[in-house]
Amino acid sequence: MSIVRIAREMVQAVAMLPLAAKVLIGRAILAEFVVITQWEHLTFRSPPAPVTLKATISPQKPEQRSFSFPEAPAAEKTRAAEVEASLAKRMARVFIDEPNVEANGSIIANGQAIYLYGIKQFDSKKVCTKASGDRWACGLHAYATLRNSIAHKKIICDPKTILSNGVSAICRLGATDIALTLVRDGLAELDGNIVDAEMVKAQAFAKSQKLGIWDR
């Protein structure tokens, strides 16, 4: 049976079918035709895989800031070095072979004034009044005692603080604290900020015995 005859018989059979059946067959033939002719243009894609978002947090180091300070001029460096050297010299132990006592109780050594540490500066012109009412030259007495006790003798002074007009120092004649002797004899008064037990005890003794300036 030839293909043409088969096709003719199929057409005759379809023609005898109801209209609804003809429409369904026509649609089926049309769909098959489209698939055959457009196959190479049809692509079947699988649904895209879900995308997983990952957040990466990298630790950040704190911002480093550098500061460059201007370098001091050479003249200022030289001046600072001179001041430092001067302070070191003033605070170094001083050996005095021929002590020279001034009227205000200072001792001159190497061109600088040394005041006895722990006592108030005194004035050789000061006059005090005793409990009896008698006036006496307490300042001159203190000055003369200090000058005569160290004249032509070697003393050693250890600076403690720098003053506007010199330095204060603990000065000793041998093992004897010169300021302590003046306080114990009632010829000098302690500074208000002195808490040294031995110095405080010496002044308390002079007061209890009404010695020197404490006889009032």
CATH value at residue 164: 2.40.50.90
Give, as one character, the DSSP assignment of residue 149: H
In a domain, 62, yes or no: no
Q: For residue 71, what are its two tokens?
A: 């370098």
Answer yes or no: do 137 and 201 share one domain. Answer: yes
Which helix (H) or strand (E) covers residue 171, if one does?
Answer: strand 166-173
Which residues neighbour 149 within 8 Å (Cβ) at sequence distance 6 or greater?
173, 178, 181
Encoded amino acid at 147, one letter:
R
In a domain, 84, yes or no: no
Burial (Cβ within 10 Å: 0-12, 13-18, ≥19) of residue 206 = buried
In a domain, 71, yes or no: no
Burial (Cβ within 10 Å: 0-12, 13-18, ≥19) of residue 72 = exposed
pLDDT along the chain (216 residues), means of 10: 61 65 67 57 52 51 57 70 64 92 92 94 93 96 96 96 94 96 97 93 97 96
Which helix (H) or strand (E) covers residue 155, if one does?
Answer: strand 155-163
Q: Say what the pTM is.
A: 0.59
Answer yes or no: do 186 and 118 share one domain. Answer: yes
Total domains present in the chain: 2
Which residues neighbour 207 within 8 Å (Cβ) at sequence distance 6 or greater?
186, 214
Strands 112-116 and 107-109: antiparallel
Whole-angstrom distance, CA of residue 139 vs CA of residue 156: 24
Answer yes or no: do 26 and 117 share one domain. Answer: no
DSSP E strand stretches across 49-154: 94-96, 100-101, 107-109, 112-116, 128-129, 135-136
pLDDT at 136: 96
In a domain, 67, yes or no: no
Q: What is the pLDDT of residues 51-60, one digit of tens each?
A: 554 544 555 5
Q: What is the pLDDT of residues 125-140, one digit of tens each?
A: 999 999 999 999 999 9
φ, ψ (nearest 5 deg) of residue 157: -120, 130
In a domain, 61, yes or no: no
**Residue 6: CB atoms within 10 Å:** 10
**Residue 162: CB atoms within 10 Å:** 11
pLDDT at 19: 67
Whole-angstrom distance, CA of residue 45 vs CA of residue 51: 17
Answer yes or no: do 12 and 100 share one domain. Answer: no
φ, ψ (nearest 5 deg) of residue 50: -60, 140
pLDDT at 192: 87
pLDDT at 4: 56
Q: For residue 212, what are its two tokens?
A: 């020197």
Whole-angstrom distance, CA of residue 26 vs CA of residue 32: 10
Give the domain extent around 22. 3-41
In a domain, 31, yes or no: yes
